[in-house]
Structure 1
Amino acid sequence: MERRRWDTDQRFTGIASGQALGSGVKRLAEVLDREGWVAEDPEAHLLPHLKRVCDEPGSRWRLRSARLQEDGVYEVEVEPADGQQAADLPIRDAITLLAPVAEASFAVRQVDRNTVECVTGMLDGDGDYAAHGHLIRLRVQN
């Protein structure tokens, strides 16, 4: 098993644990189990923002489709603009697409070469409204 964390790593270990920011991440993870936390109507709350990003001049994305899954995940199919390949679009580009729908808590994970998952929402005490959120799965098609 490889112990290096990147190609030039010579330390094989980091400088600290992640506990300094762990409480916020734990709060987000805990609220995911709360029945009814995922907000309704992603077509109204998310889709207009995602469309706007895709329609901007120079956008790296084209929106193909979006559909709410039974488990509450809003699955959004995009394709690279200008003939790029999915592998040429790093996770930073996915975050640029997702940033306009980000709320007080925002976590993004690249699952595989063509899938990026995002959890975004408000936790108890984050603002004027009740805790709520969204689950988004980007599927990048070529």
Structure 2
Amino acid sequence: MERRRWDIDERFTGIATGRALAPAIERLATHLTREGWVTEDPDGHLLPHLRGACESAGSPWRLLGAKLLDDGVYEVQLATRTGPTTADLPIRDALALLAPVAEASFAVRQVDEDTIECVTGMLDGDGTYATHGHLIRLRIRR
């Protein structure tokens, strides 16, 4: 018996590959390996927006702190304002938190129940600004 993909899944398989969007993801991956692509000063560029999102009415997040790691990842420490719920994935609330810092390319992944990682940036030809990006890791305390 194969594993269900969600609670009422009866097919156990999808309808296509993901090739239709693969070029965009591959393009982002290429930029991730460019020397100097991750921009400096996330405290100035990202933190005010993340703080504002945490302080907005109804936000499930409380900002505890943030620091830039040696590998260019901006690690943001958060606490939930309410207790954990088993039905919800933290990534759903994290998307609202990350939306104010999203740029033309944006990818988010829930690593585990307490960690969400995001890459966002501008790729060649995306707009008026030079190509650059941000790496964000959300660490969640419940």
Query: By the TM > 0.5 criterion, same fold?
Result: yes
Q: Which residue of 1 aligns with 2:83?
A: 84
- Give SS of 2:108's match: strand
- Give SS of 2:21's match: helix
Shift of 1:20: 1.0
Contact 2:61 2:79 in 1 (8 A): yes
2:84 maps to a residue whose letter is Q
Structure 2 CA distance for partners of 1:111 and 1:90, relative to 1, 3 Å? same
Shift of 1:58: 1.7
1:84 maps to a residue whose letter is G
Q: How far apart are the structure 2 equivalents of 1:45 and 1:52?
A: 13
- Give SS of 2:24's match: helix
Q: How far apart are the structure 2 equivalents of 1:45 and 1:122?
A: 14
Alignment of structure 1 residues 43-82 onto 2, 5 Å: 43-81=43-81
Alignment of structure 1 residues 1-142 onto 2, 5 Å: 2-81=2-81, 83-85=82-84, 90-142=90-142
Q: How far apart are the structure 2 equivalents of 1:90 and 1:12?
A: 25
**TM-score, normalised relative to structure 1:** 0.93
Shift of 1:115: 0.2
Shift of 1:86: 7.2
Q: Greater share of helix residues, 1 or 2?
A: 1
Structure 1: runs of 5 or more not aligned: none
Structure 2 CA distance for partners of 1:4 and 1:85, relative to 1, 3 Å? closer
Q: How many residues align?
A: 141
**TM-score, normalised relative to structure 2:** 0.93
1:124 maps to a residue whose letter is D
Shift of 1:89: 5.6
Structure 2 CA distance for partners of 1:119 and 1:86, relative to 1, 3 Å? farther
2:83 maps to a residue whose letter is Q
Considering only aligned residues, what root-mean-square deviation do their CA atoms show, in Å? 1.5
Contact 1:86 1:141 in 2 (8 A): no
Contact 2:2 2:12 in 1 (8 A): no
Q: Kindly provide the CA deviation profile for residues 95-139 of structure 1, in whole angstroms up to 9, marking residues without a partner as x.
A: 000000000000000000000000000000001121100000000
Runs of 4+ in 1 over 6 A off after TM superposition: none
Structure 2: runs of 5 or more not aligned: none
